[in-house]
Structures are given as C-alpha cells and as structure tokens.
Structure 1
C-alpha cells in the first residue's frame, strides 16, 4: 500500500448548496492512521461515500508527514501502533495542529492508555473496535460540527475586536475635534476617557452584536425595541429597582424579540389574536428560545430569566410555566406591560393599530389579570408624568448649556451608555455629544435637570 492515499467523494454529498456565483465548499478532510491495511480500507469505504476527503497513513510518522502537507479537519488514530502509539501521535497533533479534531480508535480495554490519549492528545472521543458504521459516521459528523462552531465563535470574537477598534478610532477622532475647537476645560479629560471605556466593555459589545442580528430583519423592529426598553427601564426606576436589575430589564427590552429569529415574515406580520394552532404554539415558544440563546452568556442570565417569563400572566394563565402573581420575576412583569403597550399601537396584538390612549386603557383594565397591579400603577404615573420618574425635561443636543445635569443615563440607539445619570455637562462634553449625534445620524434621547446641584 502507498504510505499516503487520498480519496474524495463529490463535495455535494454533505456540503450545502453554494450561493449563486460562489465556488462550492470543499469537503472536510479526514486523516485515518492505523498499521492495519484492512482497517484503513474499511474506513476509506465508510467515509468516501459520505462527502469526505480521506487521507490514510500506516504509522504515526507517516501521519505527521501528511499533516505537514495537507489541511486536515479531523484525525482518527489507532491506539496500538509500533514505534509511535496513538497517544504520542495525537499529542504531537495537538501541539502542532490544534485545530484538527482528534479521535482515538482502540481495540482493547487498556484504561491507562486511553487516559494517556485523553491527557496528551486531548481527544474529542474514543471509539472501540469493532465499531458500528452508523455510530462512527455520527461521531465524526458531530466532531466536525463542533469544530465549525468553534471556528464561528472565533470569527465572532474577531468581529467584536474589530468593532472595538473602530469604536476606539471614533473616540480618538472625537477627542481630536474637541481639543481643536475648545482648547480649554482639560479637567474633563478623565470623565471623557471614563465614558469611552464604558463604550468598550465586553458586555456592551456582546449586546451590540446581538442587537445587530435582530436589526437584520429590517422594518421598525429596532425602533420598537428601543421604545420598549426605554419604557421598561422607566418603570424599573419608579419601582425602585437597583442599577443592575434596571440594566437587565433594559437589555431584555432590546432583545425581547430575540426568540423570533427564524420565524417567517408572514408570521411576524400576523397579529397575535389571528394566530392559531401550530403558529400560535410556535409563537409561545419564543421566550424559551430567547432564554436558550442567552444562557451561555453569564452576564446576560438575568436578562435570559426575564425573557423566559415575558408571556406569563399575573393571574397564572400565561406561558411557558403558568406562573402567577409574585412568582413571576418582577423584570418579566415590567417587560410584559411595556411590550404590550407598544404592540397594541403597532398592530402586533390585534388587527388594528390602537391609539396610545386606547392601549393605555386596555392595559389598566387588565390590572390583576394580565399585569401586576403595582407595575400598572407605575405605568399610570409614568404616563401622567407624576412623581416617581426621573426628574427633568427632554432637550435637543443643540439646547444643552454648561451646568446642566443629566437626569438619566445618556444611551445611544444601539444601547451603549455614553454618560451616566447625574453627570454635569461642560462645553467640551456638550461638543462631544453633538459630534457623536452627528456621526450616528440620529437624535439622542437627552433628559436634563437645568443646573448642577448647588448652583
């Protein structure tokens, strides 16, 4: 037998159809290493009809030569081989080609040898001889899928890093313009740098990536989520929630439709009261899907819990868990009201678009049934403009004057906190805000108190 052989089936056997004009994806490449030719022949027959490119080698040394000349996605190695056993071979593969997935093929029950392979080669799985063909194909498929997920994760991390660099460049540009125009008030430099650091936090970057995915559906989704998030945070403030809880609720408002990714345009455009049967059942699952998508992110687990319970009702007739009363997380009780208030106005719940006053009346009438009475009371105060909300008035950036104090956090349309509440504005910072607004081509929601405390 030739030391190294390559067998490739047509790429269309496992690859997805290529986009028009795009080159078809290359099939995954497997390297099988075993000192028994019949074993290699069996592996070759098994995989060449499954859309894989198969390389074979009869020893660990030959396998290393193949890896030096070929791009290999997955390595299957026998454990017992002369000169270099599978543990040593896979250990070298791990050190030199860590991106290649490693599987161990063993025909005897030597626990210590298997442990050596796991410790030295960090193998994905081990498979005993004789193997079941279906099990073998399934293990390889799962291993390659996991590798693809890891590569996608690395791609997203690189994307986030690139966005951080772009944001840093924008901040530097803003800093240069402010220095050129004002040439004064250098005492605010530390405050500006602190605000820029907040924009670059990994948590905020994660939110930005997720929000960008939601915005791909187009339409008014981005604006709607922003309205929901703002109202939810105002209600949280009125109910005296702490900063972390308010932030979780605000993020939940931005991402409340996350679980609907993948739903058809027709379903998204159909009012809730018109959904029946399978479509209604699918709709009721979107909170669970949102929770599942966010659970791997530790900083967003509070938000994930809120999203899971957003369809629960105060009277216990909601979904997915049938929780009632105070058993429903307070954040979810707040989010449910905020989402419904704007969905009623946008035709997402009933067949016509309600006026704001009509939506308000329906929500108030559902107090104690669909909604928490305490949340409804905070909502009424917010709509009436009574005490308990953030004091101050809404202004345009061009109306800002030095000495004004932010009555609430200044947050961009993408959910990035630019300045914290109670920050006293000076001429230099006002110019930064105006420059940022001009570059983002959108008005920032600014609420201020007229003058700093003590003035």
Structure 2
C-alpha cells in the first residue's frame, strides 16, 4: 500500500527543508508500527510505501524505486538483516535503516555488515529523532547521487574533451601539413621567379651585345668576375646578388649613345662626347628606378666610376661614401675595358691591365677589392670535366645545358642548367640553320633522354 497525502507538520516535528518526491519504504510485520510511521512521515511530504514482512517488501522493491527503506529487525520468514542485505542487491542506492526493539547485538552487527545499513534506531523511538535521521539520510543520498552525476558528467566531458583535443590535434596536423605544402609551393614559386628574374636580367644585358660588336660578352664577364670577387670577400647573399645584377646591367645606360661612341676609346673622345659618356650611369639609374627590386642595383651602377680620391663621376664621392658594391665593380669594369680597348687607343694585355689596376689600389680603387680581384684572375675557371661539347644537330630531348649558350654576337640564348625538350631542340636546330653557323653546345654527360 502507499500514501502520498501531504499535511501540515505538527509542532513536535517541524519540517524545514524537505526532500520532495522522496520515496520511503517501511517494512514491519506489525501493522500498528507501519501505521504509526506513516502518520509520522506524512507531514514531511515523503511518499511512503508499506510492506508487512520481508518478502512483501522485496516484492514491492522489485516494482518501485525507493530512496530509503526502514525495516524492523525481528520479522517472521526473513529477518531485517537478511531483508536489508537482499534489498542492497536489488536497489544498492537506497538508504537502509534498521529498526530494532531488542538488544541482540550480534543480529545488529550482522545487519550492519550484510546490509551495510546507514543507521539503526532502537524501539521505542523518538519522533523528532527518527525524522531528523531520515532527513539527514535522504539529504546525504541526494548529495551522493548528485556527486555521482557530477563525476559521470565530468567523465563524459573529459572524454568529449579528449575527443575534441584529438580532433583538434588532427586538424592542427592537417593544417600544418597544408601550410608546409603551401610553403613548399611558395618556395618553389619563389625559386622559379628568382631564376626567371635572373634569366631576364641576363637576356636584358644581352641587348648590349646586339647594340655593338665591341661590347660582346662584356656584361657576362663583368658579372661573373664580380660574383667571384664577392665570394672571395665573403659578402652575404643579398650583396652578392645586387653586385652580380649590377655587373650584368652596368652598361645599360650606354644604349642611348650613338653607334660611333660605343666602340670609341674614352681617351680620344671629344669634350662633348666625354660629357655625354659620363651621363650613362645616370641614364642607367633612371631606367631602372621604376623597378623597386632594382633600386639598390641602380645605385651601384650609378657609382661604378667613382674613385676613392674623389675624382670620379658623376657625384665626386670619395672613400666610404662610395657604396661597397660599386667599389667592387670599379676595378673589374676598368680591367675589362682596358683589355677590350675601351679606355685607351691600344688594347692592354691581361697582365698589363692587371698591373694598371694594382697601381690604382688605394687611390682609385678599394685595396681589399683589388687584392680579391687579382686573386680571382689567378684562379682557373670552374672545372668543366663533366661537360661534353656536341653540335646542335646532335642535341636530343632530355639533355641538360652545362654552360650558357650564346650567339655569335655574345647574346645569351639559353642559360646553363636548361633541360631541353623536343620543342626547344627543334628551335635550336632551326636557329643554327637560319643563321648559317656551326653551333656547338656544352651539355652534361650521361643525359637522361626524354621518353
């Protein structure tokens, strides 16, 4: 039987904080005891279930979920200790209280050990005491259940957090891989862009070779020497790059000079021609100024004819005022011009030109640069033992160019490292036939022909 009636609490047992919806199971073989407890608990708002004996209580527990059970100790059939032990198996979360009316300590201990009871109450009981015990037990049960829920919630949240972390780590790994792939692509694109830029500069420098036969190959010679001098001096990559490009383009301002002045030695130029020649570095700087990447290069080209003693042009700079890259170019440009016959009426031999550069160290040229340049001149060119020379007609797809391919006029046609495909092989052959020249190329040994 059950009773859910709620009445006002009597003065003897005030009901402050109630445990709403709590279900209490009362088990006793004496109906009067059950009736008394039910009347006592009714004002507390608890739902009470009663059973006359242990078997009836177990049957009721199989049908109803209870929060607390109070059982008498001495009952026919199964006693309170046995009942509470089996109750523990049926509903382990229910609070178990033993109601005993005799001083059988061994039975009470058995109930405590087997049923793991929360409290035992001796008959006759005090109404206020028993109500306080039940309230405290229900409150404790509520806290335990809430704690269990929080522990389970924490466990679920931790598991979800682990899943999220695992997913986040996977996303970070994937994103990192994507970024690495993008960086690789950017590095490749930058490398190709840089390579194409340098090729463009070399082709641009080749315009001078087409402008006048006497200038053939000068840009490549100056830039190659400048690069080796920079390495000898231990300059950083950025400085080496700027000096190399400045060497390629150092004569670009001469494109605006008349044909008659291009091959004319400076020593026999008229005053008007000399004045016009001295402006070629300014013209080069002006031509390169729109290209932001070439601004440092333009400054080096402008100052290539400055002298340490201040007697150079166009600005009369002296000493440390002259950009170091321009100080690198100065003896190299003059050396090549002496050998080519651009500075004096007679052509200097390489030995005489080197001696002239050596005499200008300290007054005209930077002493460190002169020392490095003279050392470079004594150093043989890179070993080309791994090259082989072939006629253009023997060129096949898959071969790799090991040296720059230049025209008879000194114009760069293809840069070293170029891998030939069928289209370019055909163009090279057509060029050789069209120009009527016997064109030879240097390619790397053991080529891998294209399939």
TM-score of the pair, normalised by structure 1 = 0.45
